[in-house]
Structure formats: C-alpha cells, structure tokens
Amino acid sequence: MVSMAFLLGFLFLGTTILARHYGIIFEHGDKETVMSQVGEEVFGRNLLYYLLQGFTAGILFLAANTAYNGFPILAAILARDGYMPRVFHARGNRLVFSYGIAALTGFAALLLVIFNATTTQLIPLYALGVFLCFTLAQAGMVALWFKRKTPGWKRSAVINGFGGVVTGIVFVIIMVTKFGEGGWIVVVAIPLFTAGLWWIGRFYKRLQRQLYVSPDAQLDMRPNGESRVPIIVPVEDINLATVMTLGAACERSREVVAVHVIVDPDAPSTVEQRWSRQFPSIPLVVIASPFRNASDPIARYVDDRLKRAPHEVTVMIPLLEVRRPYHRPLVNQSLKRLQRMLENRRHVNLVAYPFSTGSMGRRRGRTALP
C-alpha cells in the first residue's frame, strides 16, 4: 500500500510538472488527453509514445476491473443479509456472482448511453463515488476503533478520522463544482438506492416473521398418500411454506424425501440439526455444495433417484405468492433455474405448491409449473 501510494504520488506530480512545463491545459472539446499531449512533447510520435498510451489504457482497464471485483461480492453480502434480492447471492457455473456482474454491466452501459460515452462527463460521477466511499470507509473504521478499543486504537482512530475529514472535504468540493455536470446524479441516486435497500430489508424481515416456525414445534408428519411415486421437496429453511408443502406431499404420496443443499459454508445451516426432532418421519438428504447454487445438486439427486423403481419422481416446490407485483423479483427466483433444469426431463413431474403469506394458510389446489 505504501509503495502504491508513492508510485501514485510520483506519477501525479511528474505529470503535473511536465504539463505545466510544456503549457498543456485541457480544454473542453479537446480530442486528445493531457497524457497524450505530454507524451508527444516528451517522446514525439514514436514507440515510447505508443507504449505510454498502451500502459495508460491498461491502468484504466485495471481500474474498471476493480468494480467487477468488488460490486458482485458486496451485492452478495447485502443479499445474504437481506438487503438485496436473494438471487444476487447465488453463484453461477463459473463460481462467480453472475447476477451482480450482469447488473453492474447493465448499469454501466446505461450510463454510457446517457452520457454518450463522454469521459469528461463521466469522470465527476467516478470521482464523487470514489471519495464518498473513501469517506464512509474511514468513518466506519473510526467507529470500529471506538467499539473494539484494541491496543493503539486511539492513534488509528486519529489517522482514520483525519483521512475521513480530508476525503469528505474533497467530496464536498467536487459535488459543489461538478453538480451541474452530472454530479447531481450521485447526490440523487445514493439516497434512492439506500431507501431501496432499506425497503428490501424490511420486506425480508416481515416475510421471515410471517414464515417463522418455532424450533420447539413437533411436526410428526407421516407420508400416507395413495401414490407410489416418490415426492422430493427442496428445503431451503424450516418455515411455514416448507411445512405446508411437506404436509401436501404426505397427503399425496407414500414416500416423501426432503433435500437440503448447503451452498454457503460461512453461513452454517440449522436445518439438519432441527430436522430429526421436528420431522422424524420424513428423511432429509443433505448435500454440501459450497460456492454453488442449489439447483444443480437437486437436479443430480433427481437423476439418481430416477434410476430406482418406480423410475418416476415428483418434485414439489414451495411457491411463495406475494400481493404486490414489485415483490416478485424478491422471491422464488432460485426456482426458475430448477424449473428450467427439470422441465424437460422424462418421468419428472414438477409441481409448485402455492403459499400465500397474506392469508398465512395452505392453498387447496396444486399447480404444475408452466
């Protein structure tokens, strides 16, 4: 970090001194950057000039890549804690948070279209975002030092506090001077995004309260249906929707199996610990699939179950029904991938069991997934 700070300081000061020495000033409408003009004055139009341009472009590419390294992970953490749609916490086949990458790409493309890819208009957005993040990070560190009070915390708190004040002042200066050149977007967008995250968190907390099942509840369900076709019920958590779906499966078939996939080793699941006590008559299959989504392991388990008699399987999925259309992206998104994987498999009957959180009751009908 110290080496990077010195390198950045030398680059900045050196470029500034050379620009002043050659009288290079960027003016609105220029088609050539200051680095290009400085390189031409120092080296001329030769190999060294083009190497300078190439390294400059490489640095910019690396700077852009940091957003793709950071935002998907941040979105996954927020989704895990319930402040973004849960689908952002799911990893794709390449073990990356695909939805975060796609969202960042879409938002970046939208900004390019709005500003016609003009860097002089996009730079204020970048600068405001960077210095706001610096300020929030330093303020967070100050709060952390005051909370933990580890040895030497006062000195660290002073350093972080000073850094936060400096970056905060720079943020205010950029916001005031560049407000009319696009800086207002950051000023408006951040409160809107914050309000959106708070609204999503409130929705998930309310949903958790509505679906809550006490760990002390004894739910001795026994499969006593007429069908000999086994029913597999994917279980993400022990909640009211899961209980109702298992009850419907027990009424329909003589064999019911619950499947639980552990996808995040950092968030240990309590399903396996509670299951034998709360559902002693329904076997639970636990599949450890760290850093993956739950759909692939369930699909593989279904394929393995098809190899045994009666060579037919019903997969019954709890389907949460919400009252508002704008709530739909927040629930049931993981089911869509599972649906696509199973809908074309022979001898697999995919059934959704609708459950409405508004009525807090079980639906009479059973709906096949379209």
pLDDT band (50, 70, 90) for residue 367: very low
Single-letter amino acid, residue 125: L
Q: Where are the beta strands (DSSP E) in 178-294?
A: 231-234, 256-262, 284-288
- From first CA to last CA, the distance across the chain in angstroms is 54
Residues 253-282: what's their mean pLDDT? Answer: 86
What is the per-residue pLDDT for 60?
Answer: 82
pLDDT score of 362 more than 80: no
The string of pLDDT tens digits covering residues 20-53 is: 999 988 776 667 888 899 999 999 999 999 999 9
Select the highest-mean-pLDDT range: 25-39, 150-164, 170-184.
150-164
What is the per-residue pLDDT for 30?
Answer: 67
SS3 351: strand
What is the per-residue pLDDT for 233?
Answer: 94
pLDDT score of 153 more than 80: yes
What is the per-residue pLDDT for 29?
Answer: 66
What span, in angstroms and rounded, lies between the C-alpha atoms of 98 and 292? 11
pTM for the predicted model, two decimal places: 0.77
In 3D, which of 203, 202, 207, 259 has the Cα closest to residue 230?
Answer: 259
Burial class (CB in 10 A: 0-12, 13-18, 19+), 159: middle
CA distances to 140, 228, 245 from 254, rounded to whole Å, are 56, 6, 15
Between these two residues, 283 and 64, which has the higher pLDDT value?
A: 283
Residues 334-343: what's their mean pLDDT? Answer: 81
Single-letter amino acid, residue 228: R
In 3D, which of 7, 6, 4, 122 has the Cα closest to residue 64?
Answer: 122
Instruction: Look over the chain and give the mean of its residue pLDDT values, rounded to a whole number.
Output: 86
The helix (run of H) or strand (run of E) holding residue 275 is: helix 271-278
